């Protein structure tokens, strides 16, 4: 293939490759930097220059992070919302997408419009907040799951997928006496595994990264999610959290400084996603393609 390119084309390819490589380096470097800092001794962390790897390494920062309460609370709550939230979301959206995919549903257009139209307006921050408050969901773990339960976009993608399943399969099941719910669970669901996986992954990532709902609806620090813990350290610069984390003894050499500890918490919050996304990205990509081309 390289043989077939002319000199000019080869040069063009080289320029592109250099450009893309630089871009990729720019994307990857911040993580390498943070990882390095999180594994550095305080002196090494403050050294100026690039940090590709720690010249003086130390696991102290991670020790402090894993022995602190905040990180474990954060992880617990984040895992709760990600697992429960994703399962509930996918289940409910599937229950909604299936009827909407049936052309014989009475007043189908009305119900579809009822749902789709909500993508174009919103009550606004304050009215939504007051509603949540009025229902009594404030300061409950469920506030992280229920208000965000359904993503209209994802549900429509599911609906479109269901619509593409040949009706002969369902019809033959109906002749055998199955009613709609049976058809959904025994026939449609197994066939829809790819789309369910895609939606589940999208939902899971959103839950993992969500922070704003936890910020405004939850005050109880035992219900704090990982992103909020991270935010308090990094954005709000909450010194008490930092002090508790660093737990410095009065004497002796400093084992950690804010920079290394913040870097460690950041890595701990992000590594799960980093480790997992390369393998799952094909689901995401496919999901977007299905959604956009059929949308």
> Which residue among 18, 19, 43, 63 contacts other proteins (CB under 8 A)?
19
Q: Tell me the C-alpha distance between 279 and 187, whole Å.
A: 28
> Which residue among 106, 177, 190, 252 contacts other proteins (CB under 8 A)?
106
Answer yes or no whether residue 113 interacts with other proteins by CB under 8 A. Answer: no
Segment near other proteins (CB under 8 A); pick from 64-72, 130-138, 186-194, 247-255 = 130-138
Cβ neighbours for 25, distance < 8 A, ≥ 6 positions apart: none
Segment near other proteins (CB under 8 A); pick from 21-29, 54-62, 75-83, 241-249 = 21-29
- 255 vs 265, which CB is nearer to other proteins? 265
Window 204 to 233, contacts with other proteins (CB under 8 A): 205, 209-212, 216, 227, 230-231
The Cα-based distances of 150 to 13, 89, 154, 158, 272 in angstroms read 44, 6, 8, 12, 24
Answer yes or no whether residue 189 interacts with other proteins by CB under 8 A. Answer: no
- Helix (H/G/I), strand (E/B), else coil: 281: helix
∠ CA 89-95-99, rounded to 5°: 145
To which H or E segment does residue 272 belong? helix 258-294
The site string for other proteins over 138-157 (x = CB under 8 A, - otherwise) reads --------xx-xx----x--
Longest dimension (CA), the chain: 81
- 76 vs 272, which CB is nearer to other proteins? 272
- Helix (H/G/I), strand (E/B), else coil: 197: helix
Segment near other proteins (CB under 8 A); pick from 55-63, 76-84, 175-183, 248-256 = 175-183
């Amino acid at each position: 293939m390289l043989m077939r390119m002319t000199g000019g084309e080869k040069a063009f390819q080289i320029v592109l490759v250099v450009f893309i490589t630089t871009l990729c380096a720019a994307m990857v470097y911040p993580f390498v930097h943070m990882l390095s800092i999180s594994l550095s001794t305080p002196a090494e962390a403050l050294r100026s220059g690039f940090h590709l790897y720690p010249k003086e390494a130390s696991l102290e920062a991670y020790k402090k992070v894993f022995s602190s309460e905040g990180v474990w609370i954060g992880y617990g709550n984040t895992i709760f919302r990600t697992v429960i939230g994703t399962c509930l979301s996918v289940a409910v959206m599937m229950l909604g997408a299936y009827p909407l995919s049936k052309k014989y549903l009475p007043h189908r257009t009305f119900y579809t419009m009822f749902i789709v139209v909500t993508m174009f307006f919103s009550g606004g921050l304050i009215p939504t907040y007051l509603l949540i408050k009025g229902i009594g969901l404030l300061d409950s773990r469920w506030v992280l799951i229920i208000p965000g339960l359904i993503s209209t976009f994802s549900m429509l993608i599911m609906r479109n997928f269901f619509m593409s399943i040949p009706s002969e399969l369902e019809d033959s099941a109906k002749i055998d006496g199955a009613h709609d719910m049976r058809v959904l669970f025994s026939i449609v669901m197994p066939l829809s595994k790819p789309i369910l996986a895609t939606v589940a992954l999208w939902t899971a990532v959103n839950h993992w990264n969500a922070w704003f709902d936890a910020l405004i609806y939850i005050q109880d620090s035992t219900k704090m999610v990982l992103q909020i813990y991270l935010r308090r350290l990094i954005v709000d610069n909450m010194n008490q959290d930092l002090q508790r984390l660093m737990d410095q003894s009065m004497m002796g050499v400093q084992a950690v400084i804010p920079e290394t500890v913040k870097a460690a918490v950041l890595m701990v919050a992000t590594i799960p996603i980093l480790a997992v996304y390369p393998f799952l990205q094909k689901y995401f990509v496919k999901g977007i393609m299905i959604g956009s081309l059929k949308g």
